[in-house]
Chain A
Amino acid sequence: MTQVKAWAGYLLPKLGQFLFVVVATYTLVFVLVHFLPGDPLIAALAAKGGASTVIDPAELDALRVQYGLDGTLWQQYFGHLIAAAQGDLGVSISTGVPVTEMIARAFPFSVQIASLALLFGVTSAVLITFLAYAAPWPWLRQLLLQVPPFGIAVPAFLSGLLLISVFAFTLGWLPSAGARSFDAAILPAITLALPVGALFFQVFSSAVLEAQNSPYVFTAVAKGVPPRRIFTKHLLRNALLPSITILGLLIGYLAGGTAVVETVFSRDGIGRMTVNAVLARDINVIQGVVLVVGAIYALVNLLVDVAYGFIDPRTRIGGGVPSRARLGAKK
Chain B
Amino acid sequence: MTNLRKPGFVLGLIVIALAIVASLAPQLLATHDPFESVATDRLLPPSAQYLFGTDNLGRDLYSRVIYGAALSLLSASLAVVVGVVVGAVVGLISGFVGGRTDFIIMRFVDVLIAVPGVLLALIVVASLGFGPVSLALGVGLGAAGSFARVMRSQVLRIRSEEYVEAARTLGVRSPAILVQHVLPNAARPVIAMAALEMGTAILSVSALTFLGFGAPPPAPEWGALVSAGRDYVATNPGLSIIPGAVILVVVLAVNRVARAIGGDE
Partner-B contacts on A (CB < 8 A): 20-21, 24-25, 27-29, 32-33, 36-38, 40, 43, 150, 153-158, 161-162, 164-165, 169, 252-253, 255-257, 259-260, 263-264, 274-275, 277-279, 281-283, 286-287, 289-290, 293-294, 297-298
Contact = CB atoms under 8 A, between A and B. Distances in A.
Contacts of A20: 107
Leading 6 A-B pairs by shortest Cβ distance? A256-B118, A158-B244, A165-B237, A36-B127, A24-B111, A252-B116
Nearest to A162: B241
Nearest to A297: B114
B101 to A, nearest CB: 17
A156 B125 CA distance: 20
Contact of B207 (A36, A156, A278): A156
A297 to B, nearest CB: 6
Given A24-B110, A27-B111, A36-B124, 4 more contacts: A155-B226, A158-B245, A161-B230, A290-B122
B133 interface: no
B207 A165 contact: no
B94 interface: no
B213 A169 contact: no
Nearest to A29: B123
A161 B240 contact: yes
A283 B127 CA distance: 8
A260 B116 contact: no
- Please indicate which of the listed interface residues B114, B206, B251 has the most CB atoms of chain A within 10 Å of its own CB: B114
A165 B233 contact: yes
A155 B203 CA distance: 6
B248 A158 contact: yes
Contacts of B124: 32, 36
A294 B206 CA distance: 24
A281 B128 CA distance: 10
Nearest to B213: A278
A153 B251 CA distance: 6
Contacts of B241: 158, 161-162, 165
Interface string B112-140: 10111111101111111100000000000
Interface in B86-110: 107-108, 110
Nearest to B240: A161
Contacts of A277: 126
- Please indicate which of the listed interface residues A256, A281, A282 has the most CB atoms of chain B within 10 Å of its own CB: A256
A252 B117 CA distance: 8
Contacts of B247: 155, 158
Given A38-B127, A161-B237, A278-B125, A255 B244 contact: no
B223 interface: yes
B199 interface: yes
Contacts of A25: 111, 114-115
B115 to A, nearest CB: 6
B233 A161 contact: yes
Nearest to B249: A153
A257 B111 CA distance: 19
Contacts of B111: 21, 24-25, 27-28
Interface in B226-246: 226-227, 230, 233-234, 237, 240-241, 244-245
Contacts, number: 143
Interface residues on B, range: 35 or more
B118 A281 contact: no
A260 B211 contact: yes
25 contacts: A20-B107, A25-B111, A32-B123, A33-B127, A150-B252, A156-B207, A157-B206, A157-B226, A158-B245, A158-B248, A161-B233, A162-B237, A162-B241, A252-B116, A256-B119, A257-B118, A263-B210, A264-B230, A275-B211, A275-B212, A278-B211, A281-B126, A281-B129, A290-B123, A298-B114
Nearest to A274: B122
A290 B114 CA distance: 11
Contact of B114 (A27, A153, A294): A294
A297 B211 contact: no
A161 to B, nearest CB: 5
A155 B114 contact: no
B154 interface: no
Contacts of A21: 110-111, 114
Contacts of B110: 21, 24
Nearest to B244: A158
Contact of B116 (A24, A37, A279, A297): A297
Given A153-B252, A286-B123, A28 B115 contact: yes
Contacts of B252: 150, 153
B255 interface: yes
Contact of B248 (A43, A155, A259, A279): A155
A294 B115 contact: yes
Contacts of A293: 115-116, 119
Contacts of B226: 155, 157-158, 161
Nearest to A263: B211
A157 B206 CA distance: 9
B214 to A, nearest CB: 12
Contacts of A252: 114, 116-117
Contacts of A253: 116
- Please indicate which of the listed interface residues B126, B210, B230, B233 has the most CB atoms of chain A within 10 Å of its own CB: B126
A310 to B, nearest CB: 23
Nearest to A281: B126
Contacts of A33: 123, 127
